[in-house]
Structure 1
Amino acid sequence: MAIERKHLLYFLTTESQPSPFDINMAYDAGFHAVIPYGSVNEESAVLLVQDIIFSRGPKGAKFSALFIGGNDIESAERIRQAAAKSMFPPFQVSMMIDPKGSYTTAVALVAKAEKALGGLCGKQVAIPGGTGPVGIVASMLCVKLGAEVIIGSRQLSGVQQLAERLSAQTGGSVKGAAMATDEDKISHLRGADVILTTGKAGIQMISEGVLKALPSGKLVADVNAVPPTGIFNLAPNDDMKEVVPGIKGIGALAVGVLKYDVEIEMLETIRTSEKFTVLDQNQALEIAQRRLSIGGSRA
């Protein structure tokens, strides 16, 4: 009698409570069951992965997959590396990494901006409040696409250290700047082609006064859908709306639609792949770019 294999997703996160957001997404992508594990570290990840790969045998490996999440990008990446090292042919299961949704959110934000401007190569991108996971990943993606990046924070010393680290990692130009006041922001944002806000939910990063003081022709985009949104006069559903004369904006839900489609495709890929596959922000960017280029996304 043939065994009916179920598609199982093992959700490993550094957080004590696995995110319901990602669990819901996985079910929407067609997994029969999602098994979450919280407070995972490198050592426990190795033990979990060994049980996952050996329990279903070589033929059953393609019916299991891993999702690695958590609030800390570096910790999640170490778990990804530990999991990959624990596997070997034919005992390998496909996996993806998206810590706290930061990879797919940053990808959607950057891809929408790239599409709107016809490319980011040679552009200057400013990311006020960019020291969190989404801002960090967005800055690295922008550098990959040929842009120069300036990250803003209230504290200059911390953001300068972050910028130096990201410049070293990417081989590109990432600078840190103090953006504690509107005057600071106007000074540093005046020369930017693109402004991406990735601050905490419910905090307006760019005020009316800042927007109206900037030269026209800029693009702004936001990931905060919680009122007040991150940018004055930019509603979550806006997509290339003129927020003040001469400046157009992309709202959080316009970004979020693409983020959802990208994450769903990544989950579907690791569920259905016949061979060992690992997906991260780089593959996510390729998916987003393809969807926007062919109109295959609802975004």
Structure 2
Amino acid sequence: MATERKHLLYFLTTETQPSPFDINMAYDAGFHAVIPYGGVNEESAVLLVQDIIFSRGPKGAKFSALFIGGNDIDSAERVRQAAAKSMFPPFQVSMMIDPKGSYTTAVALVAKAEKALGGLRGKQVAIPGGTGPVGIVAATLCVKLGAEVIIGSRQLSGVERLAQRLSAQTGGSVKGAAMATDEDKISHLRSADVILTTGKAGIQMISEAVLNALPSGKLVADVNAVPPTGIHNLAPNDDLKEVVPGIRGIGALAVGVLKYDVEIEMLETIRTSEKCVVLDETKALEIAQRRLSV
């Protein structure tokens, strides 16, 4: 007697310890089981994927899926490429990539800003503390949507190298700037239409003094829900609330609701798709934009 096929998600991450966050979300998205593997690299990914695709046969492929995660975007992307190259018809399973939630978080942050302003084309977007995964992905997405981007960091040399690399990759305008002090931030943020803070949790990136020195009409948005939030007077649940007169803000939980919805939809898609699909930040942005247009 044949048994019912179970939907299995194989969570391959470059981190030593797989994230409980993504495991929990995968179960909430309907997978019967989530099998995590930590410390995965390109070589081990090939071996794991071969066992995954061959063990269930061509008819069982649609019941298996891959989630690629990790702290480092470049390492996770190499694992994704290795996994993709290991598959061939009819031995293919659906796959998504979201390293440490950076793709879905950045997508939600950028999509909320885009919606609030009616588009980002021709806008200047500043990302203080933008050298981490979320900031890098957000910068890339903003450029693709037609914005000019300036990334801020305490160290000028490092952020300039990052900006040059992102400019070359996207063919757009990405600049790096030193933003170690309030004075630095004020001078670089005056001309920005949008300010996105993507720094470490519990670190305030934009102080009251900086906000009060900026001209009105700006939009600020944050991904840090741990007190203190990344922007003065911006609560996590705020959604287009004024933080100072003339400057509206989007808080981390307002961003997080969309991030959650996007990731759940991506997980449900790779679970239910009859054909092999590969979901990345580009597809995630399409989902976020569609959800905000409803």
What is the TM-score when the length of structure 2 is the normalising length?
1.00
- Output the CA distance in 2 between the equivalents of 1:116 and 1:207: 22
Q: How far apart, CA to CA, are the structure 2 residues paired with 1:109 and 1:33?
A: 30
Cα distance in structure 2, aligned partners of 1:90 and 1:4: 21
What is the Cα deviation at residue 148 of structure 1? 0.2
The structural deviation recorded for 1:243 is: 0.3
Cα deviation code 1:22-56 (max 9, x no counterpart): 00000000000000000000000000000000000
Q: Deviations over 1:186-234 (max 9, x none)?
A: 0000000000000000000000000000000000000000000000000
Distance 1:186 1:25 in 2: 39
- CA displacement at 1:265 relative to structure 2: 0.1
1:164 and 1:176 mapped to 2: Cα distance?
8
Partners of 2:282 and 2:2 lie apart in 1 by 38
> What is the alpha-carbon distance in structure 2 between the residues aligned to residue 31 and residue 172 of structure 1?
39
Correspondence for 2:253: 253
Q: Work out the CA distance in 1 between the residues paired with 2:61 and 2:5.
A: 10
Question: How big is the shift at 1:126?
Answer: 0.0
Distance in 1 between residues matched to 2:168 and 2:59, nearest whole Å: 42
CA displacement at 1:3 relative to structure 2: 2.8
What residue number does 2:202 align with? 202
What does residue 5 of structure 1 align with?
5
Unaligned runs of 5+ in 2: none
**How big is the shift at 1:292?**
0.2
Which whole-Å CA distance do the structure 1 matches of 2:12 and 2:39 have between them?
8
Distance 1:217 1:117 in 2: 10
Separation (CA, whole Å) in 2 of partners of 1:144 and 1:272: 29
Q: Distance in 2 between matches of 1:181 and 1:5?
A: 57
Alpha-carbon separation, structure 1, partners of 2:134 and 2:100: 9
3-state DSSP of counterpart to 1:275:
coil
Whole-Å Cα distance in 1 between the matches of residues 144 and 275 of structure 2?
28
Q: CA deviation at 1:164?
A: 0.1
Once the two structures are superposed, residues 228-260 of structure 1 have per-residue CA deviations (whole angstroms, 9 ceiling, x without a partner) of: 000000000000000000000000000000000
- Residue 23 of structure 2 is matched in structure 1 by 23
Query: How much has 1:2 moved relative to structure 2?
Result: 2.7
Equivalent-residue separation in structure 2 for 1:72 and 1:92 (angstroms): 25
Identity score, percent: 92
Provide the TM-score with structure 1 as the length reference.
0.98
Match for residue 171 of structure 2?
171
| SS at 1:203 equivalent | coil
Rounded Cα–Cα distance in structure 2 between residues aligned with 1:72 and 1:207: 29
Deviation, 1:275, is 0.3
The separation in 1 between residues aligned to 2:178 and 2:283, in whole angstroms, is 32
